[in-house]
């Protein structure tokens, strides 16, 4: 029988064989070159409550794999960190952990572990989602609903998503703030950005969770990197930006 020495060399050096014994640490959600500016969200089809599951996973799927799918998406667009460094200087790795409520994964430091301490960091740290005690998928859906049906009562939103009414109220408040910040930023950076001029009524576009209509505006990057598109309308529920 023919014996090919290179075959054995490849086999022993093949990472897929090593993986079975000891999975390689994941130091990032997606390859570094996948990460793109948040503005690239504009290149996606318009996100709405009907297609958002395609990007962030099925709302009813509580598996770790589904969680990973969502974080890969968020990391790709800079909505969460794709990699992190521990205060000790070590590179944090992504660890599956069912005790990480809602998220099912978190950052951990192997260097700290070798020194006998446990360093865990939430994958939400530093993001819009930090300190929000609800699944991120729900937050997206509540945002989409707020944009598409701004007249829905707090009670009905809370009931349909199984969250506390105060939580919904806080979220809506933050969405309003963000939208206002977004608008001010766009108006400041674009002197010719006029949504109807003085006294205009500005409404959240029902289909533009992320997509800025007319592609005229810059997107809100800080403090939350949350992005909303807006659309001028003559009537409807609205914000008086200029009074």
> Can you give the binding site for Zn ion, defined by CB under 5 A?
86, 88, 90, 109, 111-112, 119
- Output 93 or 119, the one with its CB closest to Zn ion: 119
Q: How far is CA 243 from the centre of its chain?
A: 33
- Output 33 or 114, the one with its CB closest to Zn ion: 114
- Output 121 or 231, the one with its CB closest to Zn ion: 121
The least CB distance from residue 112 to Zn ion, in Å, is: 3
The least CB distance from residue 187 to Zn ion, in Å, is: 43
Are residues 204 and 147 in contact, defined by beta-carbon separation less than 8 angstroms?
yes
The least CB distance from residue 30 to Zn ion, in Å, is: 22
Are residues 149 and 207 in contact, defined by beta-carbon separation less than 8 angstroms?
no
Provide φ and ψ at 190, rounded to 5°.
-130, 100
Are residues 17 and 182 in contact, defined by beta-carbon separation less than 8 angstroms?
no
Q: What strand order describes the sheet that includes 230-232?
A: 230-232, 201-204, 239-240
- Separation CA 7–CA 25 (nearest Å): 26
- Output 107 or 182, the one with its CB closest to Zn ion: 107
Please name every residue paired with 232 in a beta bridge, in sequence order, or none if there are none.
202
Residue 128's CB is within 10 A of a number of other CB atoms, namely 19
- Separation CA 67–CA 57 (nearest Å): 8
Encoding tokens for residue 9? 């060399």
Widest pairwise Cα distance in the chain: 88
The least CB distance from residue 116 to Zn ion, in Å, is: 11
- Output 37 or 87, the one with its CB closest to Zn ion: 87
The least CB distance from residue 113 to Zn ion, in Å, is: 8
The least CB distance from residue 88 to Zn ion, in Å, is: 3
């Amino acid at each position: 029988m023919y014996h090919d020495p290179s075959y054995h060399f490849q086999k022993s050096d093949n990472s897929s064989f090593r993986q079975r014994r000891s999975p390689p640490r994941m130091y990032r959600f997606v390859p570094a070159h996948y990460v793109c500016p948040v503005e690239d969200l504009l290149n996606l089809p318009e996100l709405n409550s009907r297609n958002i599951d395609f990007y962030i996973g099925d709302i009813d799927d509580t598996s770790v794999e589904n969680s990973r799918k969502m974080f890969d998406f968020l990391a790709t667009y800079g909505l969460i960190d794709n990699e992190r460094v521990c205060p000790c200087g070590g590179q944090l790795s992504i660890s599956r952990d069912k005790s990480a409520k809602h998220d099912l994964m978190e950052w951990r430091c192997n260097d700290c572990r070798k020194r006998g301490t446990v360093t865990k960091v939430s994958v939400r740290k530093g993001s819009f989602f930090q300190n929000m005690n609800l699944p991120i998928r729900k937050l997206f859906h509540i945002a989409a609903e707020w944009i598409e049906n701004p007249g829905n009562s707090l009670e009905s939103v809370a009931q349909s998503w199984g969250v506390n009414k105060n939580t919904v109220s806080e979220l809506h408040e933050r969405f309003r703030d963000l939208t206002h910040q977004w608008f001010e930023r766009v108006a400041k950076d674009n002197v010719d950005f006029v949504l109807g001029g003085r006294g205009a009524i500005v409404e959240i576009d029902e289909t533009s969770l992320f997509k800025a209509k007319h592609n005229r505006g810059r997107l809100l990057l800080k403090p939350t990197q949350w992005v909303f598109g807006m659309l001028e309308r003559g009537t409807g529920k609205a914000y008086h930006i200029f009074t």
